[in-house]
Homo-oligomer: A and B are copies of this chain.
Amino acid sequence: MSIKAGIVGASGYGGAELARLLYGHAQIQLTTIAAHAHAGKPVAELFPNLVNAGDFDPVEPQQLAELDLVFLATPHGPALELGAELYDAGTKVIDLSAAFRLSASDFLQWYKEAHPRPDLAAGDTQAAGDVVYGLPEFHRAAITTAKLVASPGCYPTATLLGLTPLRELFEANTVVVDAKSGTSGAGRQPNDGQHFAHVAGNFTAYGAPSHRHTGEIERWLGQAVGPISFTPHLVPMSRGILITAYATLRAGITQDDITDALMNAYQNEPFVHVLKPGSFPHTKAVAGTNACHLSALVDGRTNRVVVTSAIDNLGKGAAGQAVQSANIMCGFDETQGLTTIGLYP
C-alpha cells in the first residue's frame, strides 16, 4: 500500500530534507514539490543533492487537497492559511511550522498575532480532537487518528525529549535550557548572520531571553515546571542541536532515579537512545537521522541534574519527525524511510 503526498515550502531546508527522505520512502510517493517563489525553476539550483528532482511545482491548493497527505514546510503565516484550507477539505496535513503548536492565547503572546483558527491550535484545550501536537514518543495514540499534526519545533523536540520524563523530579522554577544549533536552523535565506565568513570560527548567543520556542517548551513541558530560561546559540556547523538543561532536584532524588525515569520512558522507543553514564551525546552521531541521543548526570555538589540531548534539527527536529508522524497516521511501520545511524564522520 502506498499514498500520494506533497510538500509545500520545498525551497526551505526543512522542505528539501523532506524531499530527500521521501524519495527513499517505499510507501509514500512524492508527487508534488511546491515552492511559491521558485515554481518552474530546477530544484537542483538550490539543492545540488536533488539533481533528479526536476522543477519546483507551483502552490495550488485545490490540487494539493486531492493528495492523501500534505507536508507544510512554509513559515507559519502561509501555513495558517493553507493548513486550515486543507484541513477543512479533509486532507491530512502535517505542518512543520509554529502555526498550530500553541494555544491561541500563547500564540498571541509569543507570535504577536491573533490565531485565526483556535479550533486548530493544538495547544488549546478547545482544539478539535483530530488536531495533535505531534511528538510521537508522547502523543503516538493521538497521532494515529489525527487529521492535522502540528509537528514540534527543533529546540522543543530536543528539550522535551530530555526533560519530560524527569519533570516531576524537579523543583519548580529552576529549569535553565542552554541550547545550541547549527546554522540550517536559521533557514536558507542568505543574510549577514549566515555568511560563511561570519559563522566559521564564531560562536554566539542570539534571541535571548525571549526566543519564541520558549513558549512552546513551557506549554508542553507543563505549568508545574514554571517559567524556564532559554538561550539559543549559533554553532559553526550546518546541522544539529544540542541542548544542555539544568534543573534543581527535589530532595532525595538520585542518579538512579534519573536513569530509571529515562530508561522507562525510552527503552522501547526506536529513535531515542539513552547513553551510558559518562558518555555525552554528539550532534554528528545523529546527523541525517531521526534519532535523539540523551544523557543525564546528577551533580551532588549543586543538587542539579544536567541533561544533554542531541538531534538533527532537520531530522528529528523537523523533516524526520514529520515522516515519523506520517508513518503513524498512515499505518506504516513507524521507522519506514528513516534511519538512526548518523553520517559520521
A interface residues with partner B (beta carbon < 8 Å): 13, 16, 20, 23-24, 46-52, 173, 176, 178, 180, 182-184, 188, 190-192, 194-206, 208-210, 227-229, 231, 233, 235-240, 242, 244, 246, 273, 275, 280-289, 293, 297, 299, 301-302, 304, 306, 308, 310, 339-345
The complex places the Cα of A308 from the Cα of B205 at a distance, in Å, of 8
The complex places the Cα of A163 from the Cα of B45 at a distance, in Å, of 25
Contact B240 A201 (CB under 8 A): yes
Task: Please indicate the chain B residues that have their CB under 8 angstroms from the CB of A173 in the complex.
Answer: 302
The complex places the Cα of A312 from the Cα of B291 at a distance, in Å, of 23
Chain B nearest CB: distance from A13 CB in Å? 6
Chain B nearest CB: distance from A339 CB in Å? 6
| Contact of A284 (CB < 8 Å), options: B16, B49, B304, B344 | B49
Task: Please indicate the chain B residues that have their CB under 8 angstroms from the CB of A188 in the complex.
Answer: 192, 195, 197, 345
The complex places the Cα of A184 from the Cα of B280 at a distance, in Å, of 20
Contact A343 B304 (CB under 8 A): no
The complex places the Cα of A265 from the Cα of B4 at a distance, in Å, of 34
The complex places the Cα of A304 from the Cα of B227 at a distance, in Å, of 11
Counted per complex, copies of this chain come to 4
Chain B nearest CB: distance from A316 CB in Å? 14
Indicate whether A299 sits within 8 Å of B209 (C-beta atoms), given known contacts A24-B339, A192-B190. yes
The complex places the Cα of A222 from the Cα of B340 at a distance, in Å, of 43
Contact A13 B190 (CB under 8 A): no
Contact A246 B200 (CB under 8 A): no
Task: Please indicate the chain B residues that have their CB under 8 angstroms from the CB of A227 in the complex.
Answer: 301-302
Contact A284 B233 (CB under 8 A): no
Indicate whether A197 sits within 8 Å of B184 (C-beta atoms), given known contacts A233-B242, A246-B229, A281-B204. yes
Contact B180 A190 (CB under 8 A): no
Task: Please indicate the chain B residues that have their CB under 8 angstroms from the CB of A190 in the complex.
Answer: 190-192, 194-195
The complex places the Cα of A135 from the Cα of B233 at a distance, in Å, of 27
Contact B204 A345 (CB under 8 A): no
Indicate whether A205 sits within 8 Å of B242 (C-beta atoms), given known contacts A191-B190, A195-B196, A236-B196. yes
Contact B198 A341 (CB under 8 A): no
| Contact of A180 (CB < 8 Å), options: B50, B198, B203, B285 | B203
Contact B288 A288 (CB under 8 A): yes
| Contact of A204 (CB < 8 Å), options: B206, B229, B233, B242 | B242
Indicate whether A237 sits within 8 Å of B203 (C-beta atoms), given known contacts A197-B13, A299-B209. yes
| Contact of A244 (CB < 8 Å), options: B233, B240, B284, B285 | B233
Contact B49 A341 (CB under 8 A): yes
A46, A293, A306: which has the most chain B beta carbons within 10 Å?
A: A306
